[in-house]
Structure 1
Amino acid sequence: MQIPAAAAGWFLPFVLPICFYVAFTDMRDMLIKNHAVIALAGVFAFVGLIVIPPWTTDWSEGWIGPFAVTLPPYLWQLLHILVALVIGILANAAGVMGAGDAKFIAAASAFVWGGDYVTMMFILMSTTLAAFVTHRLAKNTAMRAIAPNWESWSRDKQFPMGFALGGSLAIYLILGTVYGS
């Protein structure tokens, strides 16, 4: 994995509670709260300054459209938020995903290193499948009695993606602490 193990280790204790909160509130209310998304972006903005400070790391070259740009890794990671947010807004406008999902993906994208996109997609696909099966199993069995008033139980054609998105980011960072560069 391309994410530095030390960076994943620093981010994990701050991000993990936010991921659990997002999964819980999305299942309970079918809503990813804005303050959770802001907290997630804030964790990267502040902890990232400590972990990958822009003034001490090697700058890397990349492309923004047709222009070659050289920036520190911290700023490249922050740019992920902008790109993912624009794509998420378009996906939301097309009715493909909820606005909260799009905002969470944008905030979470700062934590995913460019070389780990394929790995993250596999994590997201497997976590989404596992979360969907788990949610439907709980919804249609006696386990539903544990939380009988959750909004996600009554939505037949909708699924609380925060459950899968939060889990995916948590798994990525856990794996990053073990297998990171």
Structure 2
Amino acid sequence: MLALPDHAALAFLPFALPVCFWVAWSDMARMKIPNLAVLALMGLFLLVGPLVLPLPAWGWAWMHFAVVLLAGFVLNLVGALGAGDAKFSAAAAPFVAPADAGIVLYLLATVTLAAFVTHRAARAVPAIRGRVAHWESWHRTRDFPMGMPLAGTLAAYLALAAAGA
């Protein structure tokens, strides 16, 4: 059972899903995660969080943002992660209950593998590739749009928590 209360996840989910879709789409299309999407996710936690989480837990969750942002900054410096990926990860971090961090990492690994295989398979199918031929991610053979699995992980986590998993 996930530690994030189901009522909190249910309150976050309808607002977070469009942002997650926006992030995944934008990263596949332009290999960039818009700063506005990151700010929208942070704004969601800022506005909805205190209504559905105990105030001390909501306040401490901002520390998750700082820690993940710092880790993402270091990973970006060494070339392991894009800046947009680091910022989105940091903005998503407050949504994750501390007790769920390990589960979310496993979920991220699973979603990343599935996203990678799906993206590469779709890229190989001319009918699919032709529908969105302008996507930058089709043409960058060494890069992968991590916004897709990062957003998918947040969406899946919130959906699982909302379902009481």
Q: Given the two structures, how large is their TM-score scaled by the length of structure 1?
A: 0.88
Gaps of at least 5 residues in structure 1 are 55-71
Deviation of residue 179 (structure 1)? 2.1
Q: Which stretch has the larger CA shift, 158-167 or 141-150?
A: 141-150
Deviation of residue 108 (structure 1)? 0.2
Correspondence 1:111 to 2:95: yes
Partner of 1:162 in structure 2? 147
Distance 1:93 1:77 in 2: 25
Deviations 1:137-173 (A, max 9, x none): 0111121111011000000000000011110100000
Deviations 1:65-107 (A, max 9, x none): xxxxxxx101111111011101110110111100000000000
The correspondence for 1:141, drawn from 125, 131, 144, is: 125
Deviation of residue 53 (structure 1)? 4.7
Residues 46, 26 of structure 1: CA spacing in aligned structure 2 closer, same or farther, 3 A cutoff? same
- Equivalent residues in 2 for 1:124-135, closer than 5 Å: 124-135=108-119
Q: Given the two structures, how large is their TM-score scaled by the length of structure 2?
A: 0.97
RMSD across aligned C-alpha pairs, in angstroms? 0.8
Distance 1:98 1:157 in 2: 13
Is the strand fraction higher in 1 or 2?
A: 1
Distance 2:98 2:123 in 1: 36
Partner of 1:5 in structure 2? 6
**How many corresponding residue pairs?**
163
Partner of 2:157 in structure 1? 172
SS in 1 for 2:4: coil
Residues 114, 53 of structure 1: CA spacing in aligned structure 2 closer, same or farther, 3 A cutoff? closer
The structure 1 segments of at least 4 consecutive aligned residues displaced by more than 3 Å after TM superposition are: none
Is the helix fraction higher in 1 or 2?
A: 2
Partner of 1:39 in structure 2? 40
The correspondence for 1:97, drawn from 81, 86, 89, is: 81
Counterpart of 1:149 in structure 2: which amino acid? H
